[in-house]
């Protein structure tokens, strides 16, 4: 074997090692960009879950009869539609009971068809409590990757507290099957191209990575805006591969669904406010903890002769004799 040949083999091997390392770096960066974009979409999904069930949904849940079956099925059906439109795997919520048991308070059908009944039942005990250990211990939003009988996916768990001080969790998951396939295809293509083109191939892969990460950064920014409540999304001509374009279309569809729901809720709130203000009888709202007034309608204000601004944040003891106030409080506690 000639010296020239041996030197050529060494140089080729060095270049091949550099090529593999560089390709692996590109693969890792692209994977991180995708995961970050998916996490932003998961955060938006959890926020959407909260907007659909309502921030006070868990306050009235105490047992398996707390939510009528037709109401629960309507929530599941709504989640199914959103998952089909926005590429989510599942949307759900859980409540942690006093004894530590974790139960479902909403869920998604595996088939995305509520009539098939393949969704978690209301108040059904979760079969994998270990998946909640981190979020329970830290009380912080937790992202994790899982691999189970349903495949590999990414999920988020967001903790909240209801008015009774109990912890409930909002969750969303996205399958990583398409992501894995896309990343594997991209890595193989990049390695082959770089081995054939050597240095020229490295330059091509560099610009290819930039072309891919650009749309990902745009998607990340948009999903971040959605997560913070800005549902006006216009991705336009995003560029990138068909997977990215499909993801962009899903995000736009998701934002439209959120915006439509948000507008519907605002309309309902305005209608409710109009009804409350125009009822001729006194109507007020108290928060359940210390029974302080949080709302008073016009009729109540006129009946008591006290401006509602002076009532808000105070309780019965601030306005009535002690015996009468204690009577009101006892009645409220009995109702609660």
Which tens digit of pLDDT belongs to each residue from 91-142? 999 999 999 999 999 999 999 999 999 999 999 999 888 889 999 999 999 9
Percent of the chain at pLDDT > 90 equals 41
Whole-angstrom distance, CA of residue 112 vs CA of residue 79: 8
DSSP string, 76-129: HHHHHHHHHHHT-SEEEEEEE-TTS-EEEEE---TTS-GGG--SPPTTPBPS-G
Q: Closest Cα partner for 231 from 266, 201, 258, 210?
A: 258
Q: How many CB atoms lie within 10 A of CB 131?
A: 17
In terms of Cβ atoms closer than 10 Å to its own Cβ (0-12, 13-18, 19+), residue 174 is buried
- Residue 72 or residue 211, greater confidence: 72
Strand partners, 59: none
Q: Tokens 């495949």 sit at which residue?
A: 151
Can you say whether the dihedral through the CA atoms of 301, 302, 304, 309 is positive or negative? Answer: positive
Mean pLDDT of the chain: 82
pLDDT value for 46: 93
What are the pLDDT digits (tens) for 249-258? 667 777 777 7
User: What predicted TM-score, i.e. pTM, was given to this entire model?
Assistant: 0.50
Q: Closest Cα partner for 49 from 138, 163, 177, 160?
A: 160
pLDDT value for 221: 67
**What average pLDDT does the segment 156-180 reach?**
90
DSSP letter for 62, please: -
**What average pLDDT does the segment 303-331 reach?**
90
What are the pLDDT digits (tens) for 288-314? 888 998 888 888 888 888 888 888 999
78: helix, strand or coil: helix
Torsion of CA 242, 246, 249, 255, to 10 degrees: -140
Alpha helices in 125-173 (DSSP H): 133-138
Whole-angstrom distance, CA of residue 193 vs CA of residue 173: 34
pLDDT value for 7: 53
Residue 155 banded pLDDT, cuts 50, 70, 90 = very high
**What average pLDDT does the segment 15-30 reach?**
72
């Amino acid at each position: 074997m000639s010296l020239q040949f041996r030197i050529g083999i060494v140089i080729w091997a060095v270049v091949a090692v550099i090529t593999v390392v560089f390709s692996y770096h590109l693969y890792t960066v692209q994977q991180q960009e995708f995961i970050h974009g998916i996490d932003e979409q998961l955060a938006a999904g959890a926020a959407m879950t909260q907007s659909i069930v309502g921030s006070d949904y868990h306050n009235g849940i105490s047992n398996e009869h707390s939510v009528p079956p037709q109401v629960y099925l309507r929530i599941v059906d709504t989640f199914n539609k959103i998952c089909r439109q926005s590429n989510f795997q599942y949307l759900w919520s859980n409540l942690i009971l006093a004894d530590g048991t974790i139960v479902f308070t909403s869920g998604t059908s595996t088939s995305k068809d509520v009539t098939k009944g393949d969704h978690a039942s209301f108040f059904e005990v979760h079969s994998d409590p270990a998946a909640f250990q981190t979020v329970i211990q830290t009380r912080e939003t937790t992202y994790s990757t899982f691999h189970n009988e349903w495949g590999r996916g990414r999920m988020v768990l967001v903790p909240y507290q209801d008015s009774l001080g109990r912890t409930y969790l909002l969750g969303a998951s996205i399958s990583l099957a398409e992501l894995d396939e896309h990343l594997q295809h991209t890595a193989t293509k990049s390695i082959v191209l770089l081995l054939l083109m050597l240095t020229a191939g490295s330059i091509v892969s560099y610009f290819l990575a930039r072309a891919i990460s650009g749309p990902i950064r745009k998607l990340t920014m948009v999903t971040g805006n959605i997560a913070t409540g800005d549902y006006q999304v216009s991705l336009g001509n995003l560029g990138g591969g068909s997977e990215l374009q499909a993801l962009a279309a899903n995000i736009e569809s998701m934002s439209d669904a959120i915006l439509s729901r948000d507008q519907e809720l605002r309309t309902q709130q305005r209608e409710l406010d109009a009804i409350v203000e125009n009822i001729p009888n006194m109507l007020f709202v108290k928060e359940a903890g210390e029974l302080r007034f949080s709302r008073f309608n016009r009729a109540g204000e006129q009946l008591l002769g006290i401006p509602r601004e002076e009532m808000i944040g105070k309780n019965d003891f601030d306005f009535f004799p002690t015996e009468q106030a204690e009577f009101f409080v006892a009645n409220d506690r009995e109702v609660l």
